[in-house]
Chains A and B, each alone.
Chain A
Amino acid sequence: MSVWRQLKHGLRVLTDRRASDQAITSEAEDFIERTTGEFIDRGLSPEEARRAARLECGSAFSIRDEVRGHGWENAVEALIADLRYASRRLWAAPGFTALTVFTLALGIGATTAIFSAVKPILIEPLPYPKASRIVTIWGTRQDGGRNEVAFGTVNEISQKTRSFVSHAAIREWQPTMTSEGEPERFQGQRVSAGYFQTLGVSPAIGQDFRKEDDLGNSPHVALLSDALWHRRFGGAAAVIGSSVTLDGQPYTVIGVLPARFENVTSPDAEIWAPLQYDMSQGGRVWGHHLRLVARLRDGVRIDQASGELNALWPVFLKEHPKDLFNDGLAVLSLQDALTSGVRPALNVIMVSVLLVLLIACVNVTHLLLARSSRRRGEFAVRTALGAGRARMIRQLLTESLVLAALGGVLGILFAEAGVRTLVALSPPALPRAGSIAIDGSVLAFSVVVTMLVGFAFGLFPAFQAGRQLQAGLTQHSRSVAGDHRRIRSALVVAEVSFAFVLLVSAGLLLRSMERLIEISPGLHTANLLTMQVQTSGQRFRDATVNNAFFDHVLEAARQVPGVISAAFTSQLPVSGDSDAYGVSLESNPDQKDVEIRPAFRYAVSPSYFQTTGIPLLRGRMLDEKDRAGGPLVAVVSDSLARHRFRGAEAIGKRVRIGPINGPQYTIVGIVGDIKQLSLLDAEPDAIYTTPTQWRFPDNVMTLVVSAQGDAARLSPALRRTIWSVDKDQPIVRVATMDQLLARSMAERRFVMILVTAFATVALLLAAAGVYGVLSGGVAERIREIGVRSALGATSGSILGLVLWKGVTLTLLGTVIGIIAAAAGTRALTTLLFGVSHLDLVTYAGMCLLLLAVSAAACWVPAWRASRVDPVITLRSE
């Protein structure tokens, strides 16, 4: 009520100041007239009465001024006046304003962009109800690695544990939908019926999977993503209950997930179907190929769940065959499991961007200090006219805030562009990249940063200015300026040392990248084109049909002009494929304890080694005679031969791949190691068989073609060729081997590009700082320089004097920077490869770069100082 009245009155005054002034004045005049009348009544003449009244009451104007000073609207008016004045002052110094705003915008923009990118990954909970209760369960290996789990384990967990309310196993699934047009392959997932319930999501239309849907012989049902529903089915509700053909089999669509649903376990998945495991079938039940998510029961902690699982582990082991190579189980929060891979990289990026923001702030403080020292005259005059110190500090703060606000607005624009660039650059492994966007809270973050920066750099010069006022009117006082210069020099030193840390980080990352590129993946990548071909449909369950199709395709592909050789492989190096089996030796048949260790398993056409250039070290390659029905043979990698046979000859030995009761393969050859997972991969154990000698048909194979000249050129012709064999088979993931290699380095490259960009910005800002402090110094000392040159100093010696000043500042900053970098780059170690975080070459190189750039920045003011004409300077004093 009272607040409302206050507001109403204040607003009335604000909107019509003249009317309200008029009202007060006439009321005051009325008061004075009545006082005058009273005096006349007492017998004074009108003239005397008026004077007496004036004496007693004061003038109507002074009364008005007293009355109008009250009320909140006056504070607003003062603020508006301050803002108007600040804008005028800033407009009058366009160079200063532009530089400050730009520097701030750079800092704020970069910080906001990075914060936008990092927030959904590291800070926000996953987009599910009570997301912190969702965990993922992994198998742990003796060597500390993580494994996926087997369905047998999932089954055991669901029957014997109490820690989880619900859980679901997930398997990647790439079904092909066939209809009239070209076949389309979708990214999808086969999941336990409780998957969406575990995440806490239910379909927007239709219904969720039921428990019965997950049984081995149930009819096929599928759920669609909102995007797929709109893309392929026009968003019509009639889709529910309709039938689609996936891999040659009919599936009934039973529901569509909400548009907001984000599937973090596989961001590209668009279609889901139940796992439908049949426990009685055995076989794949014990393959380690399932991911497991679960929701913790209320009140159960992650470590308790983990404890329960591992206590039960020996019981699980009793229940199933011994071919598990998991050592135990680990429970991790889903969020941590998703982000742990990128966390170190993102932390480095966040720290780098904060350093840039810090440097930007230091630079702005710099600019403001230099400006306030140029404005001493103005402040002196304002003090003389009666401005209070608090009033003046307020004025300066307003100016800072205006700058910060401008910088903030421009910064948001920069951030907008930055976020777009980030998403474009982001490596495929970045989780939740789809939800990176500037949102309300990020905007708020940006504004808060702006405000903090505004106050931080606003207060400092304001107090400086406050202190100067005493000395202000004595224009020739140099002591204050000297004080300033010391502070500004310290700021430059700080700035240079921050920049050095960033430069060293960027340098180390660049050198790691260089080392990484030098690593050979183990095959000739040049002119290799790869594409994944999948056979889809019931008839390809038959190994003969399946293998015949791939044989035909291979035959046809070899006829394509430009193709030197072609081969199929069940998995492609450095492509993200990871298909490993336990390999058990039978070097010693009596030995009861069979040693099982995982190795990558490849089914390859005999021409694979020749096509990819993987060298044969000993023995023989696979050849066309190694077909179904013939003696089972395998080729192993050099590392497998050496690690597993410990110096003994591997050729001629027999091994099992997968089940311990499976058939034995005789090793006939040893080939060079390759990098399967990535260039950094330390697991080169590999075993190769021909597709026909493998125990089940691989429906997904990758065609590798070695071409004359540019391999990418061949892709349309090869596509046509494959479809000429069978038009219903989808072709995906077409890429040259070089592209795959580049992709496997994408995350490092991403970090490297960002840190290098930040380091460049930091270097430029630091150079601007050095330049600023030196040119300011020259301007303040122009008289001294004039005197020096009048007394016979050569222009060379003055040049040296100024240069030396700049170089000492840089050197000091560099020394501090070296110490900071040596300590700080430890955080980089996980991102470095083949180079120590104390790499001498990098440090030395960056020192030189920094010195060179700062010397260049010093040169202009130094040169200007050397050209000072003593006659002109001394005359102007």
Chain B
Amino acid sequence: MDSPNTDLIQGTLDMLILKALSLGAMHGFGVARRIEQVSRGVFKVNPGSLLTAFQRLERAGLIDSEWDDTDNSRRAKFYKLTRSGRKQLEVETTDWMRRASAVARLLKDEG
């Protein structure tokens, strides 16, 4: 499991959470696993940062939360995107793509 670089780039965690939630409501563990799986283990999310990020996003009005029963009859806190969260995700995605492709071009040139 131990990957050489599992730290998230500063500020990207929020975006990744929003992205993960854009597919539907999910609990914290689900979000963590989703990020790990999709990034093929490149990013590993520790629960402290994750829950802190949830609080931050909820206060910013980007996500909502609700306690609900899960499949195996345990209660968990489910998070889902709000309208402004969805909008924020769009903005951040575009922005990120623009930057990432620019950085990629630069690196290719140098190489």
Contacts A2-B60, A31-B29, A35-B29 hold; do A66 and B48 have CB atoms under 8 A apart? yes
Judging by beta carbons under 8 Å apart, are A28 and B51 in contact? yes
Chain A nearest CB from B13 CB (Å) reads 13
Docked CA distance A71–B61 (Å): 14
**Chain B residues near A815 (CB-CB < 8 A):** none
Docked CA distance A6–B61 (Å): 9
Chain B nearest CB from A62 CB (Å) reads 7
Is A30 in the interface zone, CB < 8 Å from B? yes
Chain A residues 1-29 with CB under 8 Å of chain B are: 1-2, 5-6, 9, 23-24, 27-28
Closest partner residue, chain B, to A38 (CB atom): B33
Q: When each residue 58-82 of chain B gets 1 if its CB lies under 8 Å from chain A and 0 otherwise, what string results?
A: 1111000000000000111100000
Q: Which of B32, B55, B60, B61 contacts A70 (CB 8 A)?
A: B55
Is A827 in the interface zone, CB < 8 Å from B? no
Docked CA distance A23–B66 (Å): 11
Judging by beta carbons under 8 Å apart, are B56 and A30 in contact? no
Docked CA distance A662–B63 (Å): 100
Q: Which of B1, B51, B61 contacts A67 (CB 8 A)?
A: B51
Judging by beta carbons under 8 Å apart, are A5 and B59 in contact? yes
Is A57 in the interface zone, CB < 8 Å from B? yes
Is A816 in the interface zone, CB < 8 Å from B? no
Is A58 in the interface zone, CB < 8 Å from B? yes
Is A63 in the interface zone, CB < 8 Å from B? yes
Judging by beta carbons under 8 Å apart, are A67 and B52 in contact? yes
Q: When each residue 6-30 of chain B gets 1 if its CB lies under 8 Å from chain A and 0 otherwise, what string results?
A: 0000000000000000000001110
Contacts A57-B46, A67-B48 hold; do A9 and B59 have CB atoms under 8 A apart? yes
Is A374 in the interface zone, CB < 8 Å from B? no
Docked CA distance A34–B49 (Å): 17
Contacts A66-B48, A70-B55 hold; do A5 and B61 have CB atoms under 8 A apart? yes
Docked CA distance A1–B51 (Å): 22
Docked CA distance A24–B58 (Å): 14
Judging by beta carbons under 8 Å apart, are B58 and A30 in contact? no
**Chain A residues near B76 (CB-CB < 8 A):** 27, 30
Judging by beta carbons under 8 Å apart, are A58 and B48 in contact? yes
Judging by beta carbons under 8 Å apart, are A57 and B59 in contact? no
Judging by beta carbons under 8 Å apart, are A30 and B74 in contact? yes
Closest partner residue, chain A, to B50 (CB atom): A31
**Chain A residues near B1 (CB-CB < 8 A):** 56
Chain A nearest CB from B28 CB (Å) reads 6
Q: Which of B27, B47, B55, B75 contacts A63 (CB 8 A)?
A: B47
**Chain A residues near B51 (CB-CB < 8 A):** 24, 27-28, 31, 63, 66-67
Judging by beta carbons under 8 Å apart, are A67 and B55 in contact? yes
Chain A nearest CB from B101 CB (Å) reads 31
Judging by beta carbons under 8 Å apart, are A57 and B55 in contact? no
Chain A nearest CB from B59 CB (Å) reads 5
Judging by beta carbons under 8 Å apart, are B60 and A28 in contact? no
**Chain B residues near A62 (CB-CB < 8 A):** 48
Docked CA distance A32–B28 (Å): 11
**Chain A residues near B32 (CB-CB < 8 A):** 31
Docked CA distance A62–B46 (Å): 12
Q: When each residue 58-85 of chain A gets 1 if its CB lies under 8 Å from chain B and 0 otherwise, what string results?
A: 1000110011001100000000000000
Docked CA distance A30–B69 (Å): 12
Q: Which of B47, B56, B58, B75 contacts A57 (CB 8 A)?
A: B47
Docked CA distance A63–B50 (Å): 10
Docked CA distance A33–B47 (Å): 12
Docked CA distance A231–B62 (Å): 67
Judging by beta carbons under 8 Å apart, are B59 and A63 in contact? no
Chain B nearest CB from A591 CB (Å) reads 97
Judging by beta carbons under 8 Å apart, are A31 and B61 in contact? no
Chain B nearest CB from A169 CB (Å) reads 69
Judging by beta carbons under 8 Å apart, are B52 and A66 in contact? yes
**Chain A residues near B77 (CB-CB < 8 A):** 23, 27, 30
Q: Which of B29, B49, B52, B61 contacts A30 (CB 8 A)?
A: B29
Docked CA distance A57–B33 (Å): 13
Chain B nearest CB from A65 CB (Å) reads 8
Judging by beta carbons under 8 Å apart, are B56 and A70 in contact? yes
**Chain A residues near B27 (CB-CB < 8 A):** 30
Docked CA distance A322–B1 (Å): 114
Chain A nearest CB from B55 CB (Å) reads 6
Residue from B47, B55, B77 whose CB has the most chain A CB atoms within 10 Å: B47
**Chain B residues near A70 (CB-CB < 8 A):** 52, 55-56
Residue from A23, A28, A31, A35 whose CB has the most chain B CB atoms within 10 Å: A31
Docked CA distance A35–B55 (Å): 21
Q: Which of B29, B47, B59, B74 contacts A6 (CB 8 A)?
A: B59
Docked CA distance A35–B77 (Å): 16
Q: 6 new A-B pairs (CB below 8 Å) besides A32-B47, A63-B48?
A: A27-B77, A31-B50, A31-B51, A62-B48, A63-B47, A67-B52
27 contacts between A and B (CB under 8 A): A1-B61, A5-B58, A5-B60, A9-B58, A9-B59, A27-B28, A27-B76, A27-B77, A30-B27, A30-B29, A30-B74, A30-B76, A30-B77, A31-B28, A31-B29, A31-B47, A31-B51, A32-B47, A58-B46, A58-B48, A63-B47, A63-B48, A66-B49, A66-B52, A67-B52, A70-B55, A71-B55
Which 5 A-B pairs rank lowest in CB-CB distance, beginning with the nearest? Answer: A66-B48, A34-B29, A67-B51, A31-B47, A63-B48
